[in-house]
């Protein structure tokens, strides 16, 4: 069995820059079913029981929770105004319609929905929940409010939100769990509207279904003891579900019967160019570099297929990207050489030159990340075949980060988390544009797309023509499921239990 990275899931909507570096894959739903045809007696004991991991020592308030283990579990207990599916398509959850005027949206709240206490949902409950997330800087949702200008209930069934700017998927910023006003003051867990209610009874916490057609009526919750790990509990069948970032570097073998459902996270790995290097100001050279990057190798051999090739800053599983029907440039060193030759570069003794200047670049890499080191070595080998010298500059994370921020590199191998609203302005013209490569054509095309003046294809064409950065891949997250579960299991970057009502036992 392959060794698979099994670290607890990261923040789903994180906008922190250096994801797996500690700074700030149709495969997205890959399934590896390895159930035995004849389950052992030990396995059969868990067939009709679902046990989820949680941290009983962390808060169970879904807005204040900082433990992502609990955050995932609580998605079964609490709903939000808007959620999004595995293709980042927003879906109204607690509203049944909306009106729009510029950057202002007025939602028609579905007041037929009720809390577990039996009280009807009100727009004022949503306002209360939003205020709690905005006031608490440690909340996983606090960063959303940097883009929300104002919000508030204007009646029991109307809730209004105004954004600072036009964002491609602004609704995806409204995924804040909704709790009943003041319910957290009197209850160990706030009052929610989700399909399951969290109950504490006889020293035991569990989830109980509150909708009639539930296939799984009750879900047990378990926190490992001090000498146990979530991995060992999963392997022995004590818990039935684990979450993982599939692109991590620490591997461990996991035994037992399980299958995996994957989704593509909004974590982009890419090459950053330093505009201070005169050679790298040439968009034709940047395009040649992009075509010389073997994305299929990175994805298949280094990520073990747990990711998606990237040819733009946008997630290729995003429904709008798929609708754009873009032709993606594949790995082709001979084509790269042709581009360079056609644009005045000369090949002499196996190396390309621009005039008397040899094409030689220092590639900055975080040495603490083995996958990043392997990517850099592959680039070095392939570019040598092309005729470009790459000097790999491996630095520990702290030094790497400082050098990146001070532009002490020619090319840097970076990673960033892109927010679920698909706002990439910081990446191409803001705080994340570390190398300072600026393309007015790309900026204008992005603004036109964000404002609804042009479709996504126009931006993607401008980006490919200028290639201010070289996107390489997006990493997958995964849900490991142990036991005989069946149904439409469709985890999303926001909610591993998306459409959980479709789950059942075999």
Q: Distance (Å, rounded) from C-alpha 149 to C-alpha 173? A: 12
- Asked, for residue 329, whether it belongs to a domain, the answer is yes
Cα 455 from chain centroid? 23
Q: Distance (Å, rounded) from C-alpha 255 to C-alpha 236? A: 8
Q: Distance (Å, rounded) from C-alpha 116 to C-alpha 278? A: 63
- Asked, for residue 281, whether it belongs to a domain, the answer is yes
What pLDDT does residue 24 have?
A: 39
Mean pLDDT of 219-227: 87
What pLDDT does residue 486 have?
A: 85
- Asked, for residue 68, whether it belongs to a domain, the answer is no
What pLDDT does residue 203 have?
A: 84
Mean pLDDT of 94-105: 96
Side-chain-facing half-sphere of 249: CA atoms under 13 Å? 14
- pLDDT tops 60 at residue 25: no
Beta bridge partners of 167: none
Looking up tokens 């570099």 gives: 289
Mean pLDDT of 106-131: 97
The 10s digit of each residue's pLDDT in 256-274 is 678 899 999 999 999 999 9
Give the residue from 217, 218, 239, 215 showing the smallest Cα distance to 229: 239
Mean pLDDT of 290-315: 96
User: The tokens of 44 are what?
Assistant: 């059969």
Give the residue from 232, 256, 228 showing the smallest Cα distance to 35: 256
What is the overall mean pLDDT for the chain?
87
- Asked, for residue 440, whether it belongs to a domain, the answer is yes
What pLDDT does residue 237 have?
A: 84
- Asked, for residue 119, whether it belongs to a domain, the answer is no
If pLDDT is split at 50, 70 and 90, which confidence band does 8 have?
very low
Model-wide pTM > 0.85: yes
Name which of 72-76, 146-150, 254-258, 417-421 the model is least confident about. 254-258
Q: Contact 23/190 with Cβ under 8 angstroms?
A: no
Mean pLDDT of 65-78: 92
Name which of 313-322, 335-344, 479-488 the model is least confident about. 479-488
Looking up tokens 């579990």 gives: 73
What pLDDT does residue 16 have?
A: 29
Provide φ and ψ at 264, rounded to 5°: -90, 120
What pLDDT does residue 129 have?
A: 97
Q: Distance (Å, rounded) from C-alpha 191 to C-alpha 114? A: 10
Specify the higher pLDDT residue, 229 or 11.
Answer: 229
10 Å CB burial of residue 486 (0-12, 13-18, 19+) is exposed
Give strand ranges (E) for 167-326: 196-201, 204-209, 218-222, 241-245, 251-252, 259-273, 307-309
Mean pLDDT of 189-206: 92
User: What is the β-pairing status of strands 95-101 and 104-109?
Assistant: antiparallel
If pLDDT is split at 50, 70 and 90, which confidence band does 31 have?
very low
What pLDDT does residue 102 have?
A: 92
- Asked, for residue 369, whether it belongs to a domain, the answer is yes
What pLDDT does residue 257 have?
A: 77
- Asked, for residue 265, whether it belongs to a domain, the answer is yes
Q: CA 337 → CA 277, 350, 412, distances in Å?
A: 20, 11, 22
Give the residue from 403, 381, 402, 401 showing the smallest Cα distance to 392: 381
- pLDDT tops 50 at residue 469: yes
- pLDDT tops 90 at residue 391: yes
What pLDDT does residue 243 have?
A: 85
Q: What is the CATH number of the domain that holds 11?
A: 3.10.105.10
Mean pLDDT of 393-413: 98
User: The tokens of 483 are what?
Assistant: 């036991």
End-to-end CA distance of the chain: 24
The parent domain of residue 296 ranges over: 1-54+223-506
Q: Contact 79/93 with Cβ under 8 angstroms?
A: yes
- pLDDT tops 90 at residue 408: yes
Q: Structurally, how many domains does the chain consist of? A: 1
Q: Distance (Å, rounded) from C-alpha 447 to C-alpha 453? A: 8
Percent over 90 (pLDDT), the chain: 72
DSSP-based three-state secondary structure for 395: strand
10 Å CB burial of residue 143 (0-12, 13-18, 19+) is middle
- pLDDT tops 50 at residue 495: yes
What pLDDT does residue 27 have?
A: 27
If pLDDT is split at 50, 70 and 90, which confidence band does 202 have?
confident
Q: CA 27 → CA 178, 303, 315, distances in Å?
A: 32, 13, 13
- Asked, for residue 397, whether it belongs to a domain, the answer is yes
């Amino acid at each position: 069995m392959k060794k698979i990275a099994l670290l607890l899931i990261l923040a789903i909507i994180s906008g922190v820059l250096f994801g797996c570096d500690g700074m700030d894959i149709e495969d997205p739903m890959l399934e590896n079913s390895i159930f035995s045809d004849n389950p052992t007696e030990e396995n059969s004991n868990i067939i009709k029981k679902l046990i989820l991991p949680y941290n009983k020592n962390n808060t169970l308030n879904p807005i204040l929770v900082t433990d992502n283990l609990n955050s995932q579990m609580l998605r079964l207990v609490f709903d939000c105004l808007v959620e999004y599916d595995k293709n980042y398509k927003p879906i109204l959850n607690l509203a049944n319609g909306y009106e729009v005027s510029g950057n202002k949206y007025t939602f028609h709240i579905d007041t037929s929905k009720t809390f577990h206490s039996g009280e009807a949902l009100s727009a004022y409950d949503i306002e209360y929940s939003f205020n709690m997330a905005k006031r608490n800087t440690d909340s996983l949702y606090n960063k959303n409010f940097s883009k929300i200008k104002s919000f508030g209930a204007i009646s029991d069934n109307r809730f209004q939100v105004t954004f600072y700017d036009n964002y491609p998927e602004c609704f995806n910023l409204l995924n804040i769990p909704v709790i009943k006003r003041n319910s957290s003051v009197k209850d160990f867990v706030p009052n929610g509207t989700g399909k399951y209610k969290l109950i504490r009874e006889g020293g035991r916490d569990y989830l109980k279904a509150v909708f009639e057609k539930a296939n799984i009526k009750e879900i047990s919750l378990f926190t490992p003891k001090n000498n146990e790990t979530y991995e060992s509990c999963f392997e022995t069948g004590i818990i039935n579900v684990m979450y993982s970032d599939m692109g991590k570097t620490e591997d461990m073998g996991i035994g037992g019967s399980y299958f995996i459902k994957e989704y593509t996270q909004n974590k982009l790995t890419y090459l950053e160019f330093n505009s201070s290097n005169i050679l790298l100001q040439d968009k034709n050279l940047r395009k040649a570099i992009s075509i010389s990057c073997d994305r299929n190798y990175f994805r298949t051999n280094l990520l073990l297929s747990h990711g998606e090739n990237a040819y733009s800053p946008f997630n290729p599983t995003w429904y709008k990207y798929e609708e754009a029907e873009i032709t993606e440039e594949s790995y082709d060193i001979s084509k790269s050489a042709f581009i360079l030759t056609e644009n005045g570069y000369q090949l002499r003794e196996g190396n390309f030159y621009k005039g008397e200047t040899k094409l030689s670049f220092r590639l900055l890499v975080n040495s603490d990340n083995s996958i990043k080191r392997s990517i850099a070595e592959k680039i070095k080998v392939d570019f040598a075949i092309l005729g470009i010298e790459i000097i790999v500059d491996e630095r520990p994370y702290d030094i790497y980060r400082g050098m990146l921020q001070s532009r002490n590199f020619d090319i840097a191998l970076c990673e960033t988390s892109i927010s679920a609203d698909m706002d990439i302005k910081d990446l191409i013209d803001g705080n994340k544009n570390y190398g300072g490569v600026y393309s007015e054509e790309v900026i204008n095309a992005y603004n036109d797309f964000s404002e609804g003046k042009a479709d996504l294809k126009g931006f993607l064409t401008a980006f490919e023509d200028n290639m201010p950065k070289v996107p390489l891949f997006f990493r997958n997250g995964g849900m490991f499921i142990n036991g005989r579960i069946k149904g439409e299991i469709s985890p999303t970057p926001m909610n591993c239990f998306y459409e959980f009502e479709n789950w059942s036992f075999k």
